[in-house]
Structure 1
Amino acid sequence: MSITKLKPLALAGALFASPLFAADYLIDTQGAHASINFKIDHLGVSYVVGRFNDFQGTFSYDADNLEATQVEVQVNMSSIDSNHAERDRHVRSSDFLNVSQHAQAHFVSTAYEDLGDGKGTLIGDLTWFGQTQPIEIAVEKVGEGSDPWGGYRAGFTGTAELNLPDFGAQFNLGPAAETVYLDLVIEGIRQ
């Protein structure tokens, strides 16, 4: 099993009715200040690119106590958008993502290691296709501060590599297409 590497504070987000921790920040998906973009190999000559349009999340972050960082995120898998409606319908089907049975991807952090200079490693469990696997997230902070509306924000970016067979994906797109690359932008509003 390969260890997944991500570079934001969160894979993308989830605000639950009963969160697993007291969240300090709500990921700003309503203001479109967060995104989960992906690419996957296409025939060994290019990439199919897209995004997930529906996700929610929370994180707990304190620059003076980074080891206490916690993240919980959830992605609605049916919100996949590759800018091609027919392909997206096919990808949602049982041939690929099977969103009728695996509607959500869910990440919960379990530990954080500060590497200095705004970088660190967030460790947690990702559940996708009904399988839960440990992943590591290489975090990179963009910044934090007051916004013009009286709020306070913190932002992170990163990348991820998810190995489809690790999560029990039953479809075969060829060896080059076993990895999904994620490009993540996470901005949270302090609550």
Structure 2
Amino acid sequence: MMKKGLLATALTASMLLSGAAVAADYVIDTEGAHASIQFKVSHLGYSFVAGRFNDFKGDFSFDADKVSDAKVNVTINTSSVDSNHAERDKHLRSPDFLNTGKFPQATFVSTSVVDQGNGAFLLNGDFTLNGVTKAIAIEANTVGEGQDPWGGYRAGFTGSAEFALKDYDIKMDLGPASSHVTLDLVVEGVRK
């Protein structure tokens, strides 16, 4: 009777453990340039200035069966701002905008994830820019995951968010049409 009880307990534990999904940890693949942080802001309501940050790093934890348990951490070197115009980039690095001399990094740390089904989720977190930390929400989608040709395992996502410049104490005022920035994100991670 004791052996049957132990066997039943062992089988139950084995079934629970084999069915339990475990989140995997990933490093964002910036080395292979398979991730990007791009931005867009209206230029006086007539056009758009688009650019990117060339230097950032981060990691995340993700399990497709438990999306709400995901975690994300990203650090951006703000002086790597690149709008394809040297003089404008110099101005973007100045105290008028990013103030990179005083605040060389921007960060994002997730606080919660809301699974919206069909690969869509809302990634909530604290975004720190120009020395100010505010909550921000990123509308995200799973692109896919699986083995890569080099023996690794990858997972990829896209996302977008919008924030007001004044929320981050950016004083430069280019008018109401230029008050918000849109971020477009592409994230591909390699499982550790």
Give the TM-score normalised by structure 1: 0.86
Cα deviation for residue 39 of structure 1 reads: 1.0
Partner deviation per Cα, 1:8-65 (whole Å, 9 max, x = no partner): xxxxxxxxxxxxxx97000000000001111111121001111110000000001122
The SS at the match of 1:24 is: strand
Match of 2:70 in 1: 69
Q: How does 1:142-157 map to 2 (within 5 A)?
A: 142-157=143-158
The SS at the match of 2:90 is: helix
Question: Percent identity between the aligned chains?
Answer: 59
Counting helix residues as a fraction of each chain, which structure ranks higher?
2
> Is the CA contact 1:23–1:58 (under 8 Å) kept in the aligned structure 2?
no
Match of 1:16 in 2: none
The SS at the match of 2:138 is: strand
The SS at the match of 2:149 is: coil
- Structure 2 residue identity aligned to 1:53: N
Task: Go from structure 1 to structure 2 and tell me whether the alpha carbon gap of 1:189 and 1:177 turns closer, same or farther (over 3 Å shift).
Answer: same
Q: For 1:132 and 1:84, how far apart are their aligned partners in 2?
A: 28
Q: For 2:24 and 2:144, how far apart are their aligned partners in 1?
A: 18
Q: For 1:94 and 1:135, how far apart are their aligned partners in 2?
A: 23
Q: Which has the higher contact order (CA 8 A, sep 6+)?
A: 1
Runs of 4+ off more than 3 Å: none
Structure 2: runs of 5+ lacking an equivalent: 1-22
**1:123 counterpart = 2:124:** yes
Q: For 1:23 and 1:92, how far apart are their aligned partners in 2?
A: 36
> Is the CA contact 2:24–2:63 (under 8 Å) kept in the aligned structure 1?
no
> Is the CA contact 2:159–2:184 (under 8 Å) kept in the aligned structure 1?
yes
Match of 1:60 in 2: 61
> Is the CA contact 2:136–2:161 (under 8 Å) kept in the aligned structure 1?
no
Q: Which has the larger radius of gyration?
A: 2
Q: CA RMSD in A?
A: 1.3
Cα deviation for residue 95 of structure 1 reads: 2.3
Q: For 2:132 and 2:97, how far apart are their aligned partners in 1?
A: 15
Count, aligned residues: 170
Q: For 1:97 and 1:23, how far apart are their aligned partners in 2?
A: 34
- Structure 1 residue identity aligned to 2:59: T
**1:107 counterpart = 2:108:** yes
